[in-house]
Chain A
Amino acid sequence: MTMESRIRPEWERIYLKPAEVHISNGGPQAVTTVLGSCVSLCFHAPRAGLGGITHGMLPRQAGAKDGDDWGRFVDSSITWMVRAFEKRGLARSQLEVKLFGGAQMHGVAGSRSATSVGRQNVESALKTIKDLGLHLLVSEVGGTWGRKLVFFPHVGEVWIKKISRSSLYHGVANGQETHTRHDR
């Protein structure tokens, strides 16, 4: 079964651009985004059937110029999302989160990893998750490949396809699957 075939025709389809956030309205939706060094945190409130997703590009808002969009930053976008759920009457203890992205797009995995933007984004996300006391279920981060992510916020499912660097840089949202690891 492919990622696309899991999406029912009647579901609302949304494409999440970098620096955007999305909170579902309770109805069935499929939210697609494409990640390189950026990170997405997918939120799900199981009892309420609601979900939300961020797409942070840079690790921290502190030190950014006035007027910079909070959605661009990993820490501020996560904090905004938690407050948005709280405004809907959902405490952070009811939220389950999954973390994706943070690829090291400009180098080889393992080399100079401490300085890559992808890793800094993941460090910032994990720190914010810990500071806010969120329950992290899954983390699939790092590597030297992009990820096409499809999130079903009403059920909290996240489906991932690896995509090549060239697909990512050419803005190809429908990236090719690269399951080369399992060729042997």
Chain B
Amino acid sequence: MSKPRILVVEDSSSIRQWFVSVLTSSAEVATAGNGLEAINQVWTAWERRKPYEAILMDIVMPVMDGLTAVKEIRRLERQQWPDGSRCCSIVVVSRLTDPEDILQAQYHCGADGYVTKPCAASTVLQTIANLGIDLHQARTQRCRL
């Protein structure tokens, strides 16, 4: 069985590397440094018929923030598949803990989940698994971000 494809969108290179180390044994991982790069990579993946199954999205990033990117990805998705089905799950992973950010992400922008940093590897892996993505070979390391 092929590994699920996951896109990590994060402007900090050290945090990007942390996500890659957590996910790499159980998923095919790609990275982007801001929201605009993420949209381009999602679009390219659709064109190649190899869509990402999950996107982990930071909020505060240069060029384009994560919530704008989530909204845009969901808009493009509706354009591509007017029946309303979603081709990927999006989890926002952010240091922002204000209720308004959490509500905005999930009720307005279309994110499926929200994880607050700092977080444990097990929290990230379990959140992805709860979205129906099979990560049964994931390492159960206890490292924290």
Contact = CB atoms under 8 A, between A and B. Distances in A.
A157 B97 contact: no
A139 B132 contact: no
Interface stretch (A54-62, A82-90, A123-131): A123-131
A132 interface: no
| Chain A interface residue bracket vs B | 20 to 34
A34 to B, nearest CB: 15
Interface in B81-126: 85-89, 97-99, 102-103, 106-108, 110, 112-116, 119, 123, 126
Nearest to B84: A108
A94 interface: no
Contacts of A138: 113-116, 123, 127
B72 interface: no
Contact of B132 (A135, A141, A162): A162
A127 B99 contact: yes
A184 B80 CA distance: 12
Interface string A111-155: 001000001001100110110000111111111000000000000
Interface of A: 1, 109-110, 113, 119, 122-123, 126-127, 129-130, 135-143, 157-160, 162, 177, 179-184
Interface of B: 51, 53, 85-89, 97-99, 102-103, 106-108, 110, 112-116, 119, 123, 126-127, 129-133, 136
